[in-house]
């Protein structure tokens, strides 16, 4: 029963994340105006906004002007619900679960905006950082000094790479790593960066092999950092323990 509730909750939050992903890069309010068709500007009715179901019933078209809707909307809603339920299965109804779904929501917004626009927005990172500070202080998980060290470490490492590679790392990626340091602490942050480079190498090569990107195309690194952060949050302790047992 409670799992079903989190599926519904995840779908609803996913619908809101779609609004953030579309509007934030355009400097639009995520509250006003209410949801509407981007083509005909018709205000959508409540039955047009049921996550996934409305998309399927309308056969991915606007009911008013028949413009095709991107499958992205349903994908984000489903992915949010899956990750919320996944987090619940791992942590149960604990504070760590709520921390996980909050960070997951930020990671999804950052991932899809960076994929679409090759941009990680400062205003999203500010909210990410501020929320991380509040949560860690509230739960006594980390003090301000620990968060500051992890933040400087994350941003500093990617800044060093950016300098050495002469622009191989964007400013948004550097600030993203700094913000994640506040959330994860230095151990899980280092794991996040390690995983992100592995995923980035494999993912970039796959995009080239399947000709989804060419050598001249820019491949955003933010989604790989986000994936590394997600796995570090969900399985960081297990991954580190496995590594120590395997190689030490």
Query: Is 132:126 a contact under the CB 8 Å cutoff?
Result: no
- pLDDT at site 195: 96
- pLDDT at site 63: 67
Query: How confident is the model over 134-164, as pLDDT tens digits?
Result: 999 998 888 899 999 999 999 999 999 988 8
147 and 74 part of one domain:
no
Rounded to the nearest angstrom, the gap between the alpha carbon of residue 197 and the centroid of all alpha carbons in its chain is: 17
40 and 138 part of one domain:
no
- pLDDT at site 222: 93
- pLDDT at site 40: 66
Give CA–CA dist 79/176, Å, rounded: 21
195 and 131 part of one domain:
yes
Instruction: Indicate the residue among 76, 92, 108 that finishes a domain.
Output: 92
Helices (H), the chain: 2-23, 53-57, 72-91, 95-117, 122-139, 144-164, 171-209, 222-247
120 and 235 part of one domain:
yes
What's the pLDDT band for 36 if we cut at 50, 70, 90? low
Average pLDDT over residues 28-49: 67
230 and 137 part of one domain:
yes
Instruction: Indicate the residue among 73, 92, 111 that finishes a domain.
Output: 92
Give CA–CA dist 103/62, Å, rounded: 32
Q: Given the structure tokens 């005909």, which residue do they identify? A: 40
Full DSSP string of 162-215 = HHHTTSSS-HHHHHHHHHHHHHHHHHHHHHHHHHHHHHHHHHHHHHHHTTSS-T
Give the chain's domain count.
2
- pLDDT at site 29: 81
- pLDDT at site 58: 67
CA-nearest of 88, 123, 91 to 109 is: 123
76 and 126 part of one domain:
no
Residue 66 in this model has a pLDDT that exceeds 80: no
128 and 85 part of one domain:
no
> What dihedral angle (degrees, nearest 10) is formed by the CA atoms of 239, 133, 224, 3?
70
Q: What percent of the chain has pLDDT over 70?
A: 84
Quote the pTM value.
Answer: 0.90
CB atoms within 10 A of CB 160: 12
78 and 99 part of one domain:
no
Instruction: Indicate the residue among 66, 92, 118 that finishes a domain.
Output: 92
Q: Which residues span the domain enclosing 2?
A: 1-92
Query: How confident is the model over 163-210, as pLDDT tens digits?
Result: 888 777 888 999 999 999 999 999 999 999 999 999 988 887 887 787
Instruction: Give the orientation angle of helix 171-209 with respect to helix 95-117, to 10 degrees.
Output: 70
The residues with which 68 forms a beta bridge, in sequence order, are: 61
- pLDDT at site 180: 97
Residue 225 in this model has a pLDDT that exceeds 60: yes
146 and 217 part of one domain:
yes
Query: How confident is the model over 98-118, as pLDDT tens digits?
Result: 999 999 999 999 999 999 999
Q: Given the structure tokens 């909210």, which residue do they identify? A: 127
Query: Is 75:49 a contact under the CB 8 Å cutoff?
Result: no
122 and 225 part of one domain:
yes
């Amino acid at each position: 029963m409670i799992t079903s509730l989190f599926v519904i909750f995840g779908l609803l939050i996913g619908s809101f994340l779609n609004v953030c992903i579309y509007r934030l890069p355009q400097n639009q309010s995520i509250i006003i105006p209410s949801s509407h068709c981007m083509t005909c500007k018709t205000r959508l009715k409540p039955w047009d906004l049921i996550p996934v179901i409305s998309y399927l019933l309308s056969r991915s078209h606007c009911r008013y002007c028949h413009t095709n809707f991107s499958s992205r909307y349903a994908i984000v809603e489903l992915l949010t619900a899956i990750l919320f339920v996944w987090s619940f299965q791992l942590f149960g109804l604990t504070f760590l679960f709520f921390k996980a779904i909050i960070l997951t929501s930020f990671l999804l917004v950052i991932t899809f905006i960076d994929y679409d626009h090759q941009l990680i927005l400062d205003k999203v990172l500010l909210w990410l950082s501020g929320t991380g500070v509040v949560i860690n202080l509230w739960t006594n998980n980390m003090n301000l000094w620990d968060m500051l060290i992890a933040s400087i470490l994350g941003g500093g490492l990617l800044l060093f790479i950016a300098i050495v590679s002469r622009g191989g790392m964007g400013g948004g990626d550097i600030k993203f790593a700094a913000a994640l340091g506040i959330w994860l602490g230095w151990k899980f942050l280092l794991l996040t960066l390690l995983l992100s480079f592995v995923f980035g190498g494999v993912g970039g090569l796959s995009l080239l092999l399947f000709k989804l990107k060419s050598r001249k195309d820019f491949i955003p690194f933010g989604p790989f950092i986000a994936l590394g952060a997600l796995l570090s949050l969900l399985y960081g302790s297990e991954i580190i323990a496995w590594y120590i047992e395997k190689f030490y």
